[in-house]
Amino acid sequence: MNSQMPTAEMLLLSANAYEHFRTCTADIIRQHALFQDSDAFRDTEPVKLARIYKTLFAQAWDQINVEFDLSALNWLENQPAFRMAYESLGLYQLTDDEDLARLEARIRRRRALRFSPWQIADLTGGYLRYMCGICLELYNYVTGRGVSATINGPVAIKRMTDLITEFQRLASEDFFPQESQKALLSHSNRLLDRLHRSDFLPSPVTRRNDRDLPARVVATGLIRLHLRHYGEGHKRAVFHLMGLPFIERLLEMRTIERLIKAEQERRTIRPRQK
């Protein structure tokens, strides 16, 4: 068991582990003979496909562990706070047989689809995605990026919006050819839409700059992680994760409940439309 707390760099490497796993899996799948023959792929029984997939997933996992330092994932998995959080979700690590059966069931449900390598990679990895998401929130916490985004992000977005709006005003001058105006306005409108998408830089649900701000910011990040993966804020899981060694100040359950409510309300607001 690795008890040494990972560095920020280690956390970032582990935060990106799922994307590395996904890319590596897709590369391995493309090289497999079965996936180069559409008839053979279509005629293969789901249970056999599931076994092949599990073998390929294991190869991909071994490969990225050689290429990248993913020790932060091992550290996280051994933390009591993480274990309690995961158990509070009602989840548990599957046995090999259970994992194979689940994979086969997913293949049967989507049998009519022609899987791409990326779709196949996405058939597994929920547990890994969850851990990677936690590592990213811890990285944002220890580096101060989360607090910086909360304090400076809205100001930066407003400034960029003002600059693009001024650009559009200038681009609308009569001396520009009409086709040039259309092109400039079209490109700038796309930029504005991107800036105001809820996933570009999510609006902070807490901005009061006090000593608890870093804790509230990381809690909000964890809440968003659970909403993305499980559709709920899962206050108990967030409460347990706030007990990880990195996080210096604990939050009361009622504070986490308020943050969940605020985040849910934020998500009901439709993004800005042009």
pLDDT in tens, 205-255: 666 777 889 999 999 999 999 999 999 999 999 999 999 998 998 899 999
In a domain? residue 3 = no
Residue scoring higher pLDDT (75 or 113): 75
pLDDT in tens, 172-205: 988 889 899 999 999 999 999 988 776 666 666 6
Same domain, 119 and 49: yes
Secondary structure class of 86 (helix, strand, coil): helix
Per-residue pLDDT, 41 = 74
The number of domains in the chain is 2
Same domain, 238 and 196: yes
Count other C-beta atoms under 10 Å from residue 50's C-beta: 22
Per-residue pLDDT, 161 = 93
Same domain, 184 and 263: yes
Per-residue pLDDT, 116 = 76
* Helix or strand holding residue 43 (H, E): helix 38-43
Same domain, 127 and 232: no
pLDDT in tens, 133-156: 999 999 999 999 999 888 888 889
- The interaxial angle of helices 178-195 and 145-171, nearest 10 deg, is 160
Closest CA to 221 of 141, 128, 108: 141
pTM comes to: 0.83
In a domain? residue 31 = yes
Same domain, 148 and 215: yes
Per-residue pLDDT, 115 = 67
Measured distance between the N- and C-terminal CA atoms of the chain, rounded to whole angstroms: 53
Provide Rg for the chain, Cα atoms.
Answer: 23
Same domain, 206 and 255: yes
Domain coverage including residue 124? 8-79+90-131
Percent of the chain with pLDDT over 70: 91
Token pair listed for 29: 């799948």
Closest CA to 226 of 134, 142, 141, 147: 134
Per-residue pLDDT, 1 = 46
Secondary structure class of 248 (helix, strand, coil): coil
CA-to-CA distance for 53 and 131, rounded, in angstroms? Answer: 21
Does residue 37 contact residue 98 with C-beta atoms inside 8 Å? no
CA-to-CA distance for 53 and 104, rounded, in angstroms? Answer: 10
Count other C-beta atoms under 10 Å from residue 270's C-beta: 7
Same domain, 216 and 248: yes
Count other C-beta atoms under 10 Å from residue 100's C-beta: 16
Distant-in-sequence, close-in-space partners of 159: CB < 8 Å, separation ≥ 6: none
Per-residue pLDDT, 274 = 41
Dihedral (Cα; 68, 71, 72, 74), 10-degree rounding: 130
Three-state secondary structure along 206-227? CCCCCCCHHHHHHHHHHHHHHH
Same domain, 201 and 234: yes
